[in-house]
Amino acid sequence: MPKIILHADGTTIEQEVKDNANLVVLAATRLLPKLKYGCGMGRCTKCTCIVVNGAESLSPPNWKEEKMLGDKVNEGYRLTCQLTIKDDIEISQENISIQAPKKQSAIQS
């Protein structure tokens, strides 16, 4: 079983998780209570983390992450709700302030 190390809220949590686990789902079931998240669908950026170790085991950022995080995806930032955990990983949500891009109106005059 993969192990997650999470730095959040001034604490560090180590937790074994099932293969292919989604960490936001685990947070919702209180297995990772310190993990910050919101929509769970790649729309709010509240779950943004930086990958400290283990990025190579993750799939590349998807279009939602690229849209919401922009160039930050090239600096190791990911949307936790979009990650599937297959191997040990260390992530941090300390000192991260990413704002979701403003929606553009579809109606133009």
The residues that touch ligand FES, with contacts defined as CB under 6 A, are 24, 37-40, 42-47, 79, 81
Q: In the bound complex, what is the minimum distance in angstroms from residue 101's beta carbon to ligand FES?
A: 12
Q: In the bound complex, what is the minimum distance in angstroms from residue 10's beta carbon to ligand FES?
A: 21
| Cβ-based nearer residue to ligand FES, 1 or 84 | 84
Q: In the bound complex, what is the minimum distance in angstroms from residue 109's beta carbon to ligand FES?
A: 31
Q: In the bound complex, what is the minimum distance in angstroms from residue 28's beta carbon to ligand FES?
A: 10
- Candidates 103, 94, 104, 95; CA nearest to 43 is 103
CA distance 72 to 45: 12
